[in-house]
């Protein structure tokens, strides 16, 4: 497929996102407010019942005033970005569809879902909608063929996730390495530094190392789960959704720091030891 045709496919995929048409994705970096999704665990179990007074946030080593902590209060925007290359067929495709249906079945009536599929072509299966039945129909109609444009698919899904209010969870599945993307991994990772979205991935172990997925998840505060086969995909997707529901949404207005450039973030609890997972920073302004 030519670069021009692939670029056109990406434009189609992003057409549902008014925000994507007008500006690059930002990490709430109108910078009046910064939002950070935070997972707090003790002995592998989520910690509940925390409030704004329990958290400390350092932005470029400057202590900030936490304004708001939400827990299971903000609706989710869940975007499935699914590898539909020619290696995903037959039983693998059935298992992939089953995993996607399990995620859709786990959403509440206020949540939204969207679907992006990628082979050598990126396709918008469904824009963000509360109509999970429509997303499921698109999932059931998807099929595997062609090469793997993982980087392009991830970017299209990020743009879709940025197109509406709410907490954006990107769930990526791939059973292979990228073989046909037009966009570079570095360009997409740079966009991730400006984005609110949290990216989780499930990658088949036999596909080898997936540095792009690892870096994307690290930059956004997510995780890459390595699975032995697509038989494990349903349980992995359900686990990701459940973990994301137990994350806190921490908000603050930056003070005493620059409005430009890369901002290092550190999130801590004041009076308790726990394991915290959050994005390492955000990119503000036009740099």
Task: Report yes or no on 32 lying in a domain.
Answer: no
Domain around 133: 3-25+73-245
Task: Report yes or no on 66 lying in a domain.
Answer: yes
Per-residue pLDDT of 119-155, as tens digits, reads 989 999 999 999 999 999 999 998 878 888 999 999 9
What is the structure's pLDDT at 13? Answer: 44
CATH code of the domain in which 182 resides: 3.40.50.410
Indicate if 258 and 204 belong to the same structural domain: no
Rounded to whole angstroms, how far apart are CA atoms 224 and 118? 18
Per-residue pLDDT of 173-197, as tens digits, reads 998 788 889 999 999 999 999 998 9
Indicate if 177 and 273 belong to the same structural domain: no
DSSP at 90: T
Per-residue pLDDT of 70-117, as tens digits, reads 877 789 999 999 999 888 888 999 999 999 999 999 999 999 999 999
At a CB cut-off of 8 Å and minimum separation 6, what does 199 contact?
Answer: 154, 158, 170, 172, 192, 216, 217, 220, 222
Indicate if 61 and 87 belong to the same structural domain: no
Indicate if 197 and 113 belong to the same structural domain: yes
Count of domains in the chain?
Answer: 2
Task: Report yes or no on 31 lying in a domain.
Answer: no
Rounded to whole angstroms, how far apart are CA atoms 56 and 245? 21
Indicate if 229 and 125 belong to the same structural domain: yes
Closest of 105, 120, 108 to residue 75, by C-alpha = 108
Q: Which neighbouring-strand residues pair with 40?
A: 276
Indicate if 264 and 211 belong to the same structural domain: no
Indicate if 121 and 155 belong to the same structural domain: yes
Task: Report yes or no on 77 lying in a domain.
Answer: yes
Indicate if 82 and 157 belong to the same structural domain: yes
Contact 79, 222 (CB under 8 A): no
Indicate if 123 and 172 belong to the same structural domain: yes
Task: Report yes or no on 30 lying in a domain.
Answer: no
Rounded to whole angstroms, how far apart are CA atoms 154 and 146? 17
Task: Report yes or no on 225 lying in a domain.
Answer: yes
Indicate if 66 and 77 belong to the same structural domain: no
Provide the whole-model pTM: 0.87
């Amino acid at each position: 497929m030519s670069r021009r045709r692939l670029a056109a496919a990406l434009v189609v995929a992003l057409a549902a996102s008014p925000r994507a048409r007008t500006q690059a994705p930002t990490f709430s970096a109108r910078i009046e407010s910064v939002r950070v999704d935070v997972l707090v665990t003790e002995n592998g179990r989520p910690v509940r019942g925390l409030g704004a007074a329990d958290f400390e946030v350092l932005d470029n080593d400057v202590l900030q005033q936490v304004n708001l902590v939400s827990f299971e209060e903000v609706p989710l925007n869940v975007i499935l970005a699914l590898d539909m290359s020619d290696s995903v067929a037959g039983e693998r495709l059935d298992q992939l569809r089953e995993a996607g249906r399990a995620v859709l079945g786990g959403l509440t009536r206020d949540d939204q879902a969207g679907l992006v599929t990628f082979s050598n072509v990126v396709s918008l299966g469904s824009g963000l909608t509360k109509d999970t039945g429509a997303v499921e129909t698109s999932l059931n109609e998807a099929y595997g063929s062609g090469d793997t444009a993982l980087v392009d698919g991830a970017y299209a899904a990020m743009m879709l996730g940025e197109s509406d209010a709410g907490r954006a969870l990107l769930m990526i599945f791939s059973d292979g390495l990228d073989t046909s993307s037009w966009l570079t991994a570095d360009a997409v990772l740079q966009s991730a530094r400006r984005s609110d979205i949290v990216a989780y991935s499930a990658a088949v172990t036999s596909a080898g190392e997936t540095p792009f997925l690892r870096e994307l998840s690290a930059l956004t505060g997510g995780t890459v789960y390595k699975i032995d086969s697509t038989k494990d995909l349903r349980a992995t997707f359900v686990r990701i959704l459940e973990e994301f529901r137990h994350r806190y949404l921490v908000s603050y207005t930056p003070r005493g720091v620059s409005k430009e450039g890369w901002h290092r973030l550190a999130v801590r609890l004041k009076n308790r030891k726990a394991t915290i997972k959050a994005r390492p920073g955000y990119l503000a302004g036009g740099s």
